Amino acid sequence: MIQEVFDVIVTTLRMVVGITLIMAVFLLVSMALSFLYGLYSKGRGMTKGYTSLKTVTFGDESAVTANRFASVAAVVTIFLLWCIATGSSLIPTVLPPPFVGETEFEYTARNANGETDTATVLVQVYGSDAERPDEPEALPPGDGFARNDFVQIVERRTKVLKVQNNDEGGKEDGYEVIEINGTPVTRETVVPFAKGEIYVTKQGSLSVRPSTGLTMEALYLPPPEKVWSSFITLNKEGYQGVGLWENVFWSLIRVVIGFSLGCLFGIPLGFAMGLNSWLRGWFDPIVEFMRPVPPLALIPLVIIWFGIGEQGKISLLFLAALWIMTIAARAGVSGVNISKVHAAYSLGATRRQLLTKVILPNSLPEIFTGARVAMGVCWGTVVAAELVAAEKGAGKMIIAASKFSLTDIVIIGIIIIGVIGYGIDVLMRKAENKLVPWKGRG
Amino acid sequence: MTGLVIDDVSMTFELPNGGNVEALKNINLQINEGELLSVLGPSGCGKTTLLNILAGFLAPTSGTMAMNGHAITGPHSERGMVFQQGALFEWMNVAKNIGFGPKMKGTPQAEIDAKVTELLGIVGLQDFAEKMIYEMSGGMQQRVALARCLANDPDVILMDEPLGALDALTREKMQSLVLDIWKKTGKTIILITHSVEEALLLGERLLVMAPRPGRVHKEYRLPFAEMGVGADLREVKRHPDFGPKRDEILSMIWDMEEEIMGRTESA
């Protein structure tokens, strides 16, 4: 236990170092670009307008607006870092890529009789997504007891080459590889060669490791062009028999239905709680208990109750949206300025008219805020629910792809999920501006 | 019996710590039709409570009130109210706010429109019918509130410091507007205010209330409201009787405030 906690602390500290490094790189780029932008905008006389006349801007919230140039530059920077890290073909090489191609080295062996002989090893390294190349025909054996060898290796991988296997007397005691490319070696040492390094194993074999370069392997992060081409294929053929947009459509339809049900029941419930003491007391413990339970924690129960079909997922999203909408509607009713209610009654409104003409419109801003939160939560929940159990859906697509290490599909899925989540929020904000223009201006 | 009759009204609030506050004690008042009554007093003298009781938002702990011979039991469109701020409906434009009362009663739209146009003219907002409430200044909003109240044609207009949040210039213009409306419509108006000058200008009859328990301390009959109709209010303030009256009432309220402070300190 103590050991485990200690390990967590060590891991955390290492993460702090890692995060600091990444942030530092990103911020350095940002600062450099900011400096250049400053020169550019000053040169063009772009710093005009009222804000430029303010002498106090540090701490003045109204003087700080998002610099759209910086936003674009940040996205481009991330894209470029992605290209650099993966050795993308879209940009010139920055980091050395892993070695692919042919190379060779020489080794010198001594046999049991104390004679020495030198032979050549031809190393053929091929790309991980390329076909295995044909072996060269009938390698000349060379003279002496040490025979020439040939090895084929996938890029970034290591292969153990038993040069003694085809050498005369290689199996006898006393046989030993003593030099590589003229450098004397013993067992368990590493020597570099032209395009990588060789480790002489405990058993005296040669473990050949071609240079891995500094770029990331596609298994962890594929380069953008590979993700793009996968996207084209995915768009055309789908994945596991389900089209890309069909997956997205199913996720969206679940969210829309679940969210709508949540609104349909949550808003009246919130109104009831805001208008009646008995009903507020009646529902209070339920709402207050259910609100802090994350919808994801309900997934196991929902699967036990409803199975993995649509009903389960929609129920889950309904529950995710319900409490948020209830609380938003309740807050909306509670937030009605008592003067407005008094005014409406003094002007002759009935209770029903008060509800529809005053309380409902007055709580719309709160309901919209709740709806935005609920939509965000629903979108997150549907993806998570699909990760656990689904036949179709964006979450299902990425979890299935991850099981086959199809990182490109996983990344496409994540990008689409992010873009749609953002799109939903933008739409909700647009609707809010259109429908409750008085929000925050009372 | 026309007008408002307040018969021995008392209001006691229970405090959470078990004590009681007598917000109003044995108030007796008769307010005639067409009277312009201003109510003045230090904070805590129960003037807003009195207004809320008259509007029907609160029931007194004892005593009765009657309006035109029938008892007041709740809010009613015969008693319109103008609030300090925040009582307009932001989701409606100016015209819809003003037409709210008639609309609730099911008045035909053509009639509502005519009424709204007329009232917009009275409060000087002819060109603002389609504007939203949040696009208007505080003074304009109070004009809308006044028009909204008038649209319902109430017998009594209750005003709860309607000009309290306005700047001095706007306030002066609005005071003239209130006088004009009073004269033009002949409505009974009860106005609560913190400002001694405003109480003098906008009260044919002026009640000074005293706190703990809330009660009517002194009552005046004043000529200034009648003088102010259609006249420059600054002229009225220069009237030889105006200054002395203002000083008299001010020192009266000062004494009350000091008494409260003294009592709080010794307690």
* pLDDT tens for each residue of chain A, 442 residues long: 899 999 999 999 999 999 999 999 999 999 999 999 988 887 776 666 777 777 777 888 777 888 888 999 999 999 999 999 998 888 888 888 888 888 888 888 888 888 888 888 888 898 887 788 877 766 677 777 888 888 889 888 899 988 888 888 878 888 888 888 888 888 888 888 888 889 988 888 889 999 888 888 888 899 999 999 999 999 898 888 888 899 999 999 999 999 999 999 999 999 999 999 999 999 999 999 998 999 889 988 988 998 888 899 999 999 999 999 999 999 999 988 899 999 999 998 999 999 999 999 999 999 999 999 999 999 999 988 888 888 889 999 999 999 998 999 999 999 999 999 999 999 999 999 988 888 877 5
- From chain A, pick out residues whose CB is under 8 angstroms from the CB of B105: 348
Q: How confident is the model at residue B74 (pLDDT cuts 50, 70, 90)?
A: confident
Of B76, B86, B100, the CB nearest to A337: B86
Of A344, A348, A438, the CB nearest to B91: A438
How many beta carbons lie within 10 A of that of residue A386, not counting itself?
A: 25
CATH superfamily name and code, A225-435: MetI-like (1.10.3720.10)
Of B90, B104, B132, the CB nearest to A347: B104
Q: What ipTM describes this predicted complex?
A: 0.90
> What's residue A7's pLDDT?
95
Q: Does position B262 have pLDDT exceeding 80, yes or no? A: no
Phi-psi group of A182: left, alpha or beta (phi > 0 → left; psi -120 to 50 → alpha; rest → beta): left
Instruction: Tell whether A345 is within 8 A of chain B (Cβ).
Output: yes
Q: Which residue has the tokens 């917000």?
A: B23
C-alpha torsion A317→A323→A328→A330, nearest 10: 150
> Quick check: A345 and B91 CB within 8 A?
no
Tokens coding B261: 């402070």
> Quick check: B75 and A441 CB within 8 A?
no
Count of CB pairs separated by less than 8 Å, A with B: 78
Work out the average pLDDT over B103-131.
Answer: 89
| Domain residue ranges of chain A, discontinuous segments joined by + | 2-65, 101-210, 225-435
List residues of B whose CB lies inside 8 A of any A CB. Answer: 55-57, 74-77, 79-81, 83-91, 100-101, 104-105, 132-134, 148-149, 152, 154
> What's residue A437's pLDDT?
86
End-to-end CA distance of chain B: 46
> What's residue A48's pLDDT?
65
> What's residue B82's pLDDT?
92
Query: Closest Cα of chain B to A21: distance in Å?
Result: 49
Residue A440's closest chain B neighbor by CA?
Answer: B134
- A residues 347-386 closer than 8 Å to B (CB): 347-350, 353, 357-358, 361-362, 364
Q: Does position B169 have pLDDT exceeding 80, yes or no? A: yes
Structural domains in chain B plus CATH codes: 4-78+154-266 (3.40.50.300)
> What's residue A279's pLDDT?
95
> Quick check: A441 and B104 CB within 8 A?
no
Pairing of strands A206-210, A159-161: antiparallel
Write down the pTM of the prediction: 0.82
Query: Closest Cα of chain A to B259: distance in Å?
Result: 32
**CB burial readout A176-188, b (16+ within 10 A) else e:** bbebbbeeebeee
How many beta carbons lie within 10 A of that of residue A428, not counting itself?
A: 18
DSSP E strand boundaries for chain B: 4-14, 20-31, 36-40, 62-67, 70-71, 79-82, 156-160, 188-193, 205-210, 215-221
pLDDT digits (tens, 9 = 90+) for B23-48: 888 888 888 888 899 999 887 788 88
Max avg pLDDT among A325-334, B100-109, B147-156, B162-171: A325-334
CA A317, A318, A319, A324 torsion: positive or negative?
Answer: positive
How far CA A80 is from CA of A35, A84, A133, in Å, comes to 19, 6, 32
Query: Closest Cα of chain A to B264: distance in Å?
Result: 31
> What's residue B267's pLDDT?
46
Residue A155 CB contacts under 8 Å (≥ 6 apart), including other chains: A98, A99, A100, A125, A126, A127, A128, A210, A212
- From chain B, pick out residues whose CB is under 8 angstroms from the CB of A367: none
> What is the spatial distance between Cα B221 and Cα A371, in angstroms, rounded to a whole number?
58
Work out the average pLDDT over B48-73.
Answer: 88
Mean pLDDT, all residues of chain B: 87
B contact test, residue of A347, A364, A432 with most B CBs within 10 A = A347
Instruction: Tell whether A12 is within 8 A of chain B (Cβ).
Output: no
> What is the spatial distance between Cα B101 and Cα A181, in angstroms, rounded to a whole number?
101
- From chain B, pick out residues whose CB is under 8 angstroms from the CB of A360: none
Work out the average pLDDT over B137-156.
Answer: 90
- A residues 381-440 closer than 8 Å to B (CB): 436-438
- From chain A, pick out residues whose CB is under 8 angstroms from the CB of B144: none
> Quick check: B75 and A342 CB within 8 A?
yes
Higher pLDDT, A421 or B236: A421
> Quick check: B104 and A442 CB within 8 A?
no
Instruction: Tell whether A182 is within 8 A of chain B (Cβ).
Output: no
Of A346, A349, A436, the CB nearest to B55: A346
> Quick check: A342 and B83 CB within 8 A?
yes
